[in-house]
Amino acid sequence: MLDDTVLGPLSSADAAERLAAQVQRAIANGATALLAPERRRAFHGCGVLADVTADNPVHREELFGPVAVLYRAADEGHAVEIANDTPFGLGSYVYTDDLNQANRVANALDTGMVYINGVGQDAVELPFGGTKQSGVGRELGSLGIREFVNHQLIRTVTY
56-68 pLDDT, tens per residue? 999 999 999 999 9
In a domain, 145, yes or no: yes
Contact between residue 92 and residue 131 where contact means Cβ atoms under 8 Å apart: no
Domain boundary among 72, 102, 129: 72
Q: Are 34 and 48 in contact (CB under 8 A)?
A: yes
For residues 139 and 51, give the distance between their C-alpha atoms in angstroms, rounded to a whole number. Answer: 35
Domain membership flag for residue 119:
yes
- On whether both 104 and 156 belong to a single domain, the answer is yes
The verdict on residue 107 lying in a domain is yes
Total domains in the fold of the chain: 2
Flag whether 28 is in a domain: yes
Q: Spell out, as residue ranges, where the chain has pLDDT lower than 50.
A: none
Q: What is the phi-psi region of residue 120: left when phi exceeds 0, alpha when psi lies from -120 to 50, beta otherwise?
A: left
**What pLDDT was estimated at residue 31?**
97
Q: Rounded to two decimals, what is the model's pTM?
A: 0.79
Q: How far apart are CA 122 and CA 78, in angstroms?
A: 27
**CATH number of the structural domain spanning residue 34:** 3.40.309.10
Domain for residue 123, yes or no? Answer: yes
Q: Which amino acid is at 85?
A: D
For residue 130, being part of any structural domain is answered with yes
Distances (CA, A) of 155 to 64, 146, 149, 151, 158: 48, 21, 19, 13, 10
pLDDT of residue 29: 98
Strand stretches in the chain, DSSP E: 32-35, 39-40, 43-44, 47-50, 67-69, 88-89, 91-94, 113-116, 131-132
Query: What pLDDT is recorded for position 139?
Result: 77
Which one of 46, 72, 98 terminates a domain? 72
Residue 129 domain-assigned (yes or no): yes
Domain limits for position 120: 88-159
78 in any annotated domain? no
